[in-house]
């Protein structure tokens, strides 16, 4: 299963990726106000209300109008109204789009959010989640010790500060103190921009729902990228002193877990965070070339792969055809994904290499490269030799219900731009197997005897294509893909 529902669940402001040696300031962000000029102010006298609704004014507040809001003791109803209304006016002023209606803002507890998030994940034993388990296992991010649904739920349950629900047309702020809530400026602006998107482009439209994990991440590149870009432009105005911004008490500005748990899965978090990191860079490039209308065009016709967002390119994936040839009870999940397959894409493959380098010491990529960025508004670097040159991929999870217990495996077909790109991917992937204790048998199959990824693997490179076959045992690997057997 891909990250289905990413649009509805995680239209959110995420915490900075935990555990990385990230700089204290957002890479590429200047200390002064470098945001592009917004639309000129309409004719007005002071802060008097206009005769008709105009850009930069909402519900009685201009974008540069002072407001009496103090969050030190939480927000009361009148403070919240003023805070949200001026925030809407500021989003309009930056983004040059008009709100069509006021955006409701409600507060929920983190425990309530976690419960809702877990309920949305469904039963771990559902066919959807069993299929998705194999996708994330193929990425060496979640193994057999924890289901992917639980891992995703736990990760996002600790990381989400707030989200906009297109189905409810409202912002929900996630906090540990619902009685005296505080709202971080950046979180409010980010979610208000999602509301503005929804009112102008309809986020419930089918074009905002990807068919694959990579498709979802690509769409998020423009939806989250747009919101993050507006958030960063707003933050620059606060930091430069151009705008007076409401302070958020430091003790209440974090959305992290306080339950003493093990923390988020960094591989999942890094994957989900990619649109928030590369999306603003992608859209700022479009903005610099064609203004906000170029960004609007991207929302009308989103990119189709995370590769396009990472590299700001129009390259489209190379089609991959696949014929099932499994024997002895092995079958695909034909009702899931795209004809039983998912596409994880360049962003997820990068996350695999980084996560395995961090958790097992696999020789894949140098960990520090993640913070080596060179573009304004870029937070993390998702560009690395073993994942660059991605042409396409399809993961086909398999199941076998013939025995006393259902067994699982997968075939992962990866296509690369050149033979050299395929070789770099293969070398890094084999280093992951080695770091997890794999030994190679005489028939060429690798076997991991212990741990969360204890399975058998066959890795075959032919020119610009690498095919990986996984099963519980070497015999299963041969049954799942007989044509690759020695």
CA distances (Å), origin 218, targets 74, 213, 382:
37, 9, 13
Structural contact between residues 442 and 455, judged by C-beta atoms closer than 8 angstroms: no
What integer pLDDT is reported at residue 14 of this predicted model? 39
Specify the DSSP element, H or E, that contains 162.
Answer: strand 160-165
Question: In 336-400, where does DSSP find H-type helix?
Answer: 345-360
CA distance 361 to 74: 45
Instruction: Quick: pLDDT tens for 395-408.
Output: 999 999 988 899 99
What integer pLDDT is reported at residue 159 of this predicted model? 65
Instruction: Quick: pLDDT tens for 35-72.
Output: 666 667 777 888 988 989 999 999 999 999 999 999 99
What integer pLDDT is reported at residue 148 of this predicted model? 92
As a dihedral over the C-alpha atoms of residue 193, residue 199, residue 204, residue 208, rounded to 10 degrees, the angle is -50
What integer pLDDT is reported at residue 54 of this predicted model? 94
Q: For the whole prediction, is pTM greater than 0.85?
A: yes
Q: Helix, strand, or coil here: 86?
A: helix
Q: Which long-range contacts (CB under 8 A, 24 or more apart) does 232-235 make?
A: 232/26, 232/29, 232/35, 232/280, 232/377, 233/35, 233/36, 233/94, 234/35, 234/90, 234/91, 234/94, 234/185, 234/186, 234/189, 235/29, 235/185, 235/186
Number of Cβ within a 10 Å radius of residue 445 = 23
**Stretch among 3-12, 105-114, 134-143, 249-258 having the lowest mean pLDDT:** 3-12
Beta-bridge partners for 457: 446, 470
Relative to beta strand 105-109, strand 170-175 is: parallel
**Stretch among 39-48, 236-245, 323-332, 423-432 having the lowest mean pLDDT:** 39-48
CA distances (Å), origin 58, targets 46, 65, 127:
15, 11, 47
Instruction: Quick: pLDDT tens for 447-462.
Output: 999 999 999 999 999 9
What integer pLDDT is reported at residue 262 of this predicted model? 61
What integer pLDDT is reported at residue 436 of this predicted model? 98
């Amino acid at each position: 299963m891909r990250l289905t529902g990413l649009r509805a669940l995680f239209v959110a402001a995420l915490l900075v990726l935990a555990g990385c040696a990230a700089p204290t300031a957002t890479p590429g962000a200047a200390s002064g106000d470098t945001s592009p000029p917004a639309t000129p102010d309409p004719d007005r006298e002071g802060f008097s209300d206009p005769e008709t609704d105009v850009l930069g004014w909402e519900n009685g507040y201009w974008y540069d109008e002072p407001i009496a809001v103090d969050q030190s003791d939480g927000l009361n109803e009148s403070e919240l109204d003023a805070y949200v209304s001026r925030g809407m006016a500021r989003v309009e002023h930056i983004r040059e789009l008009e709100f069509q209606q006021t955006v409701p803002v409600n507060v929920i507890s983190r425990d309530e959010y976690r419960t809702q998030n877990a309920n949305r994940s469904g039963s771990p034993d559902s066919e959807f989640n069993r299929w998705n388990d194999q996708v994330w296992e193929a990425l060496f991010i979640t193994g057999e010790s924890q289901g992917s649904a639980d891992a995703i739920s736990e990760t996002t349950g600790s990381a989400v500060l707030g989200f906009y629900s297109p189905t409810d047309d409202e912002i929900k702020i996630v906090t540990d103190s619902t009685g005296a809530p505080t709202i971080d400026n950046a979180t409010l602006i980010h979610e208000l921009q999602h509301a503005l998107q929804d009112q102008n482009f309809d986020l419930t439209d089918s074009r905002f729902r990807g068919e694959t994990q990579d498709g979802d991440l690509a769409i998020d590149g423009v939806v989250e990228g747009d919101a993050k870009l507006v958030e960063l432009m707003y933050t620059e105005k606060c930091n430069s002193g151009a705008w007076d911004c409401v302070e958020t008490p430091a003790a209440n500005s974090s959305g992290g877990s306080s339950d003493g748990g093990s923390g988020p899965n960094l591989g999942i978090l890094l994957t989900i965070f990619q649109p928030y990191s590369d999306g603003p860079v992608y859209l700022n490039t479009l903005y610099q070339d064609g203004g906000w209308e170029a960004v609007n065009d991207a929302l009308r016709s989103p990119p189709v792969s995370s590769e396009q967002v990472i590299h700001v390119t129009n390259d489209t994936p190379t089609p991959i055809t696949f014929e099932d040839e499994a024997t002895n009870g092995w079958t695909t999940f034909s009702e899931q994904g795209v004809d039983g397959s998912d596409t994880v894409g360049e962003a997820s493959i990068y996350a695999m290499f980084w996560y395995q380098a961090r958790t097992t010491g696999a020789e894949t990529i140098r960990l520090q490269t993640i913070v080596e960025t060179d573009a304004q508004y870029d937070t993390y670097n998702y560009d690395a030799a073993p994942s660059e040159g991605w042409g396409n991929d399809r993961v086909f999870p398999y199941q076998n219900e013939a025995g006393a217990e259902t067994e699982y495996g997968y075939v992962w077909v990866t296509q690369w731009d050149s033979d050299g790109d395929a070789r770099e991917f293969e070398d890094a992937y084999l280093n992951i197997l080695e770091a997890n204790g794999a030994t190679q048998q005489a028939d060429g199959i690798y076997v991991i005897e212990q741990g969360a990824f204890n399975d058998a693997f066959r890795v075959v490179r032919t020119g610009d294509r690498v095919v990986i076959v996984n099963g519980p045992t070497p015999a299963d690997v041969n049954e799942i893909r007989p044509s690759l057997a020695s």
